[in-house]
A = this chain, B = another copy of it.
Amino acid sequence: MINYNNLSQRLIDAEYAVRGKIVTRAQELEKQGKKITYCNIGNPHTFAQKPMSYVREVLSLIEYPNLLTQDLGSLFHSDSIDHAKYILKQMPEGVGAYSASAGVEFVRKAVAEFIAKRDNIPVNHDRIILTEGASRAAQLVIAAIIKNQNDGILLPIPQYPMYSASLTLAGGLSIGYYLDEENHWQLNEDILRESYSLARLNKLNPVAITVINPGNPTGAVLSYENIKMIINFARKHNLSILADEVYQENIYSKNSKFYSFAKVMHDMQVDDVSLFSFHSMSKGFFGECGHRSGYLEVRNVPDDVFAQLVKFQSINLCANVLGQMATYMMVTPPQEGDASYGLYIQERTAILDDLREKSIIIGNELNNIDGISVNMPEGAMYAFVKIALPANKVNTSLGSKADVKYCMELLEKTGLCVVPGSGFGQLPNTLHFRTTFLPPREQIIEMVKKLSAFHQEYIAAL
């Protein structure tokens, strides 16, 4: 019989804190009847956020095409019916057949047009692969570009732990670079250079740099100049860029704007840095996590490299086809004049306004708590919150797990489920946690109150 010692060490070593021990404990407490507020994961539909109607109307119709031959009365908007008919004309076999490995061609073309329009740049649809969420896209690239155990990828600290976990599974090494908390979590060239040099000194071979913009867990939005600096840095050191851009629609601060790496690279006329960019329907105002819908856009890679990525995808046949159609809906939203345009604008505005309002509440209110501070979230759906504990009473050094203890007690006392900073990485002698601001407004306000009371009690009891 198989036992733990027979398992791959890479698997055992891989850690994914977002679904780790604290969440397991939260689920136990919930089963015992305790009310839990899950702020551990960016999963919008588990809260009040509803799916965008136009997406679901079309997916419902293509799932059961027989409907299109019936009198549907006023059950669906007319443009949804047209959209569904168009899709099934392009793809008469429907959503039950495997697609081409890279995804359905007309969807890949629509994605290319979406990017071209967003950035005003040329896009080749034959450098796009439709994937099961952005996670699968990232895993594909990471597993493809790690050649041996000295190869590493520069990952931000803090980072989204799917990256380190996937890198561990691929047998590569994480080369951490700190984000600059004092400077709105931007990347800092000196810090990047230091991390890179240290890695080389240790005989590691950095092959790529991962950047998450807008940031997870930081909620920061990178400036145009910062992205330029990163591209120049990557170029100088012959690094590929993995750009996680899944929160591109989640921009809240008036001073922030999303710039894609593709756009900045095009402006700079850089064509010798390989770029792998990830987008998904799980975030933005869609929140369609469950559909595992996403894409990978690749730039500046030769044909034979792209062919290997497609082959990799082919071994799992293809991304789920309904998810591919969801991606199609994401990139072809209703236009002015369409029957569902009004509802689309109304739903989108409500979701984004609500998130913006909550980003401000959480930023302001947390900063009012003594011993707690946070950079105002400018984007994404997270705040990475700094907690000050008296150093003479608490060991706050790296690996002390003081943040885990804090978050576990927060959960037990208040029912708030957040993820300790150590799950993402943090500077030595600092402690953090990541929280989403997805729960409804009233819950966010209550949550901050509970946290404030808890924090003072926690300090007093030390």
Contacts and interface: CB of A to CB of B under 8 A. Distances in A.
A408 interface: no
A155 B293 CA distance: 33
Contacts of A75: 67, 70, 72, 75
A132 B317 CA distance: 10
Given A11-B308, A95-B290, 5 more contacts: A16-B311, A60-B67, A67-B75, A96-B289, A133-B317
Contact residues on A (Cβ < 8 Å of other chain), bracket:
35 or more
Nearest to A316: B135
Nearest to A15: B311
A96 B320 contact: no
A66 to B, nearest CB: 7
A136 interface: yes
Interface stretch (A97-105, A334-342, A398-406, A449-457): A97-105
Interface in A390-416: none
Interface in A141-194: 143-147, 162, 165-166, 169-171
Please indicate which of the listed interface residues A41, A45, A65, A292 has the most CB atoms of chain B within 10 Å of its own CB. A292
Nearest to A289: B98
Interface stretch (A50-58, A347-355, A356-364): A50-58
A300 interface: yes
A269 interface: no
Interface stretch (A2-10, A210-218, A379-387, A425-433): A2-10
A287 interface: yes
A6 B51 contact: no
A304 interface: yes
